[in-house]
Amino acid sequence: MGLLSIIRKIKRKEKEMRILTVGLDNSGKTTIVLKINGEDTSVISPTLGFNIKTITYNKYTLNIWDIGGQRTIRSYWRNYFEQTDGLVWVVDSSDLRRLDDCKMELDNLLKEEFLNELIVGIFATSGHYCSFCFGFLQRLSGASLLILANKQDIQGALTAAEIAKVLNLEAMDKTRHWKIVGCSAYTGEGLLEGLDWLVQDIASRIYVLD
Amino acid sequence: MEEEDRRNPGETANKTLDPISNKKHLAMIERLSNHHQSRINQSLSRKSDSDTSTRSFLNRFSQSKQSIESELDRCRQLSISDPEAKFHLDKVSLLISDLEKLVAENSYFLPPYEVRSSLKSISDLKESLEIVSSKVLPKKKFAFRNKSATKKENQTNEVKVSKIEKTSLLVKDSPGFRSKEGEILVRDFSGLEMGEFMLSDLNSCEIRLMGCLRALFIHRLRNCKVFVGPVMGSILIEEVENCLFVLASHQIRIHHAKGTDFYLRVRSRPIIEDSNGVRFAPYCLSYDGVEKELKDSSLDEETGNWANVDDFKWLRAMQSPNWCILPESERVGAIVIPKPEKETCSESCLDSSFLSIEAEASAFWDEEKDSDSVNLHFALCRCSVNSRRYLAFVTIRIPLVSFYEDGCRHVKVQTSRVERALECSILAKSRFNELEFEQEPARA
């Protein structure tokens, strides 16, 4: 456990968190990130590739990775998983037709993350650096999941509770920390509530709250 | 000369280095000998140390081995399906794994022979545990299988449940035009607060949407012409073929489009993916009030972005072969949609945008000849207009097209017989063109 505690100490000093924002295209990921950062959201083109925003939030530095959601680049999502502290899954609550798609991609993502974890796990038991790998294993399996049911300002959008039902979130692995929050990137409503929870949850896992 | 040159530097170097290097050399030798001495001392002490610790390890190992063996013997004497058997066996396996840990922790100083022999005895112990447990708990494997099977059943049940839930949720559809062929579909949202709208599975239709929308979804259209007012939000287009679109929006995404022309006004860069043969031109739609609606949606400014298309399937610097700018000679001219008459009801409602009629009010409707409107006549009923309550006869005039489509959201009247009295139940407090009708058996 020696190395793990060193890593923890370094992280504590930096107070840095890595947050991944993913979801189908047109769900409003970039708008959410820009809105949180207090930037102009009136002209946003669909994201090709990814954007990174570094935001100081309370006493933490958040590295928010906003990954494009177009079908062509979805297969690259997993390249960003490593050492992610928090996962933000954005849902377009007004896009009823693609909710099935949305559920499938989320399931894939979590499975993928689980696989990642498994590989590290196997590595951990086969190598001599057990405690070192164990540290990463804990972090990966623990990535807190925040689901943002976006576009609540649009008339006819499903509520967060309805989205939770469609995505069958209750059936998720019991060890995962997750929360669903209804929000609107357009008005900004609900964004801070979600981010607050995410940061607190990560902090309580990694930094062992002061 | 050359030889001298070659020799000289070496000599001078030797000369200059001699006193210093000598010193360094001596110091180094001294350090090395010190080091060597200390190493010898250390190894001596370690040897004695490891000797004692090897002995103590062997003691501990044999002790716990004995206790495990006695525990195993006790397990052997247990009767089959003794409720405590499992507890005892678990205990033994825990003890064995502890023993394994002990060996692993001490393996760095143990002589290889000891490591091997202790590992061997551990595997022996494991084997005998296996034998004992198969004797005492003969049904163990079967029970395990059984367990996993029930789990699977549960899972399939869950899937079924979620599927049922899904379908029940999908009943809640967004407003829109669906599954039509060869029709003209018109909706006017002017003055209404509209959310999203959906166009799906249309073939050879002309669609006119006027007024502001927040979001528009377009899915599976063929041979259609689509004219849309400002969308303050995004438009998502999937699987369209041989169509013409006139759209204004903040964001536009186009997937799987073939042979389609887009006349766009867009604040950001439109994108295409998996598309080919798509062409782009500037927005060209006009109807009464479109300028104001564009302005209200911050779409009054021509950004020129209609020509800045990103192809997500073409990441090279050169122009994508999948799209091009529509040559001016091939563009359609300005498209003008005549504004349909505003819906009216009785005189008292003329200026209102809000009408509610008591549930269970009965009504009949008729079509005027040579007119594209329908009159809905309500019998004397309680209604409220702009939150003032009336007892009144109410007549609502609705464009024919939207009446048969879903201008009155969820109108379920399919037949077009004239002068037919219907029992209508109306959701209280709905807007003019969002009245909910449910057809009940027609009166004789």
Contact A158 B172 (CB under 8 A): yes
Annotated binding residue A27: yes
CA distance B57 to chain A (A): 22
Residue-wise burial string across B384-398, b where 16 or more C-beta atoms lie within 10 A, e elsewhere: bbeeeebebebbbbb
Average pLDDT over residues B116-132: 85
d(CA B433, CA B187): 10
**Hey, is the C-beta of A124 within 8 angstroms of any chain B C-beta?**
no
Average pLDDT over residues B198-224: 92
**Hey, is the C-beta of B195 within 8 angstroms of any chain A C-beta?**
yes
Q: Which residues of A touch B251 (CB under 8 A)?
A: 26, 44-46
Annotated binding residue A30: yes
Cα separations (Å) of A28 from A45, A188, A194, B158, B392?
A: 11, 12, 15, 31, 47
d(CA A84, CA A63): 10
Contact B196 A155 (CB under 8 A): yes
* Greater model confidence, B123 or A24: A24
How many Cα atoms within 13 Å fall on the side-chain side of residue B84?
A: 8
**Hey, is the C-beta of A161 within 8 angstroms of any chain B C-beta?**
no
Look up tokens 């001298």; give the residue.
Answer: B4
Quick one: pLDDT at residue B318? Answer: 87
User: Nearest residue on chain A to B271, judged by CA atoms?
Assistant: A46
Annotated binding residue A25: yes
**Hey, is the C-beta of B215 within 8 angstroms of any chain A C-beta?**
yes
Q: Which of helix, strand or coil describes residue A126?
A: helix
Using alpha carbons, select from B78, B88, B90 the residue that is nearest to residue B136.
Answer: B78
Predicted complex ipTM? 0.83
Query: Catalytic residue positions of A?
Result: 70
d(CA B426, CA B125): 79
**Hey, is the C-beta of B169 within 8 angstroms of any chain A C-beta?**
yes
| B207, β-bridge pairs | B185, B226
d(CA B207, CA B271): 23
Q: Which residues of A touch B158 (CB under 8 A)?
A: 171
Nearest to A26 among B253, B267, B315 (CB): B253
Q: Which residues of B touch A29 (CB under 8 A)?
A: none
**Hey, is the C-beta of B313 within 8 angstroms of any chain A C-beta?**
yes
What is the CA angle A185-B409-B220, rounded to 5? 65
Q: Does the pLDDT at position A151 exceed 90?
A: yes
- pLDDT of A28-64, one tens digit each? 999 999 999 999 998 999 998 889 999 988 888 899 9
- The set of residues, in sequence order, having a beta carbon less than 8 Å from that of A90 and lying 6+ positions away, is A21, A22, A23, A27, A28, A29, A32, A147, A148, A150
What is the CA angle B260-B266-B268, rounded to 5? 115
Quick one: pLDDT at residue B234? Answer: 94
Nearest to B313 among A46, A72, A156 (CB): A72
| DSSP-assigned letter for residue A169 | G
Average pLDDT over residues B117-129: 86
CA distance A154 to chain B (A): 5
Quick one: pLDDT at residue B399? Answer: 59
Nearest to A157 among B195, B217, B298 (CB): B195
A vs B, Cβ pairs < 8 A, gives 94
What is the model's pTM? 0.57
In terms of average pLDDT, the best of A50-64, A172-186, B71-85, B268-282 is: B268-282
- Cβ neighbours of A83 (radius 10 Å): 10
Q: What is the percent of chain B where pLDDT is above 90? A: 24
Query: Which one of B164, B169, B179, B301 makes the best mutation probe of the A interface by having the most chain A beta carbons within 10 Å?
Result: B169
User: Nearest residue on chain B to A161, judged by CA atoms?
Assistant: B169
Integer Rg of chain A from CA = 17
Cα separations (Å) of A189 from A35, A148, B199?
A: 10, 11, 29
Residue-wise burial string across A116-143, b where 16 or more C-beta atoms lie within 10 A, e elsewhere: bbeebbeebeeeeeeebbbbbbebbbbb
Quick one: pLDDT at residue B391? Answer: 56
The one-letter code for the residue type at B219 is: H
Q: pLDDT tier at A138 (50, 70, 90 boundaries)?
A: very low
Contact B169 A70 (CB under 8 A): no
Nearest to A43 among B219, B233, B268 (CB): B268
Using alpha carbons, select from B233, B247, B169 the residue that is nearest to residue B195.
Answer: B233
Contact B312 A165 (CB under 8 A): no
d(CA B207, CA B198): 11
Phi-psi region of A180 (alpha: psi -120 to 50; beta: other; left: phi over 0): beta
Contact A97 B253 (CB under 8 A): no
In terms of average pLDDT, the best of A168-177, B84-93, B239-248, B363-372 is: B239-248
Query: Which one of B167, B196, B266, B316 makes the best mutation probe of the A interface by having the most chain A beta carbons within 10 Å?
Result: B196
> With helix as H, strand as E and coil as C, how does chain B read?
CHHHHHHHHHHHHHHHHHHHHHHHHHHHHHHHHHHHHHHHHHHHHHHHHHHHHHHHHHHHHHHHHHHHHHHHHHHHHCCCCCCCHHHHHHHHHHHHHHHHHHHHHHCCCCCHHHHHHHHHHHHHHHHHHHHHHHHHCCCHHHHHHHHHHHHHHHHHHHHHHHHHHHHHHHCCCCCEEEEEECCEEEEECCCCCCCEEEEEEEECCEEEEECCEEEEEEEEEECCEEEEEEEEEEEEEEEEECCEEEEEEEEEEEEEEECCEEEEEECCCCEEECCECEEEEECCEEECCHHHHHHHCCCCCCCCHHHCCEECCCCCCCCCCCEEECCHHHCCCCEEECCCCCCCCCHHHCCCCCEEECCCCEEEEEECCCCCEEEEEEEEEEEEECCEEEEEEEEEEEEHHHHHCCCCCCCCCCCCCCCEEEECCCCCCCCHHHCCCCCCCCCC
Average pLDDT over residues A120-140: 44
Contact A94 B215 (CB under 8 A): yes
**Hey, is the C-beta of B115 within 8 angstroms of any chain A C-beta?**
no
CATH superfamily for domain A3-206: P-loop containing nucleotide triphosphate hydrolases (3.40.50.300)
Contact B174 A48 (CB under 8 A): no
Nearest to A156 among B162, B174, B250 (CB): B174
Using alpha carbons, select from B428, B306, B413 the residue that is nearest to residue B360.
Answer: B428
Burial classification of residue B9, based on how many CB atoms lie within 10 Å of its CB (0-12 exposed, 13-18 middle, 19 or more buried) = exposed
**Hey, is the C-beta of B194 within 8 angstroms of any chain A C-beta?**
yes
Q: Does the pLDDT at position B202 exceed 70?
A: yes
Q: Does the pLDDT at position B201 exceed 60?
A: yes
Nearest to A45 among B236, B268, B273 (CB): B268
Q: Are B280 and B309 in contact (CB under 8 A)?
A: yes
Mean pLDDT (chain A) is 81
Q: Which residues of A touch B301 (CB under 8 A)?
A: none
How many Cα atoms within 13 Å fall on the side-chain side of residue B406?
A: 17
Total number of residues shown for chain B: 444
Contact B313 A94 (CB under 8 A): no
- Cβ neighbours of B347 (radius 10 Å): 9
Quick one: pLDDT at residue A137? Answer: 41
Contact A154 B195 (CB under 8 A): yes
Burial classification of residue A42, based on how many CB atoms lie within 10 Å of its CB (0-12 exposed, 13-18 middle, 19 or more buried) = exposed
Annotated binding residue A165: no
- Cβ neighbours of B241 (radius 10 Å): 16
User: Nearest residue on chain B to A103, judged by CA atoms?
Assistant: B166
Query: Largest Cα–Cα distance of chain A, in whole Å?
Result: 57
Q: Does the pLDDT at position B154 exceed 50?
A: no
Nearest to B273 among A70, A99, A154 (CB): A70
The one-letter code for the residue type at B245 is: F
User: Nearest residue on chain B to A28, judged by CA atoms?
Assistant: B234
